[in-house]
Structure 1
Amino acid sequence: MATKPTFAVSFTVMLVLMVTSSTVTARPLMKPTVGAPSPSTSLVYRLRLDEETGYCWDSLMQLQHCSGELILFFLNGETYIGPGCCSAIRTVGSKCWPTMIGVLGFTAQEGDMLQGYCDDEHDEHALAFSPLPTTVA
């Protein structure tokens, strides 16, 4: 006898759930307004996804490949980071997403150290291959 009230309650609850679920309609997450960028344009803008910034993603992938060098730089005090890795650090840090180095797990101070090291290496490399000034006699 106890099963009839339990069945009636369960049936009523299921019926109410079915009716309410059939009346629910989806709504857009954002109401489009005139002149406002669409969500896809906004994402493209935030990630700078255009033809000219493909090198940003390439540089970010290069940072993944040279993570061993970066860890040794801080862990053992090794003062060698390859030119490809430094190029990626300079590109990501100054031309693409300056805060991305922090997102990769480095503190702001460590990111500044990496960029400073790579900028110094770049300047020394550029000076080594620059032509000597001509003397006027």
Structure 2
Amino acid sequence: MLWSHQADQLRQYHTEHKDRSDVALELPTGSGKTLMGLLISEWRRRALNHRTVYACPTQQLAEQVHASAIKQGLETVLLIGTSKVWNVSSVNSYTRGSATAITTYSHIFNQYSRFSDAQGIIFDDAHAAENYGLIPIQGVVAA
């Protein structure tokens, strides 16, 4: 169940920002930004048929987000650690757009990113990306 402020933010995203390439959502700690980011990612994946990625600054946070997504019944795959050992089925689910990939910033901001084909990227704790030299990316939503 959503809190009223989450529903308000999601409505505002849908009516005012869904067609913009870069959007930032700012809410206080503990206000449910992660769920909102996951729901926006899920909407973009389903409604727009986009390959979506939810990026976290750490593997631990990526694991927590993935567990939260599963609890909410959202289709996600966890793609962290060395990409050479990623589950092929999980990678294919992301590539086909049948699941949102949950990963770390380091897999986005590197020369050999496996997510260069992403059509929507959600950055959780976007302020943590300043160490990566965050540059505008088409389809970015920062949560």
TM-score, scaled to structure 1: 0.27
Which structure would you say has the larger Rg? 1
Greater fraction helix: 1
TM-score, scaled to structure 2: 0.26
Q: Considering Cα pairs closer than 8 Å and 6+ residues apart, tell me whether 1 or 2 has the greater RCO.
A: 2
Greater fraction strand: 2
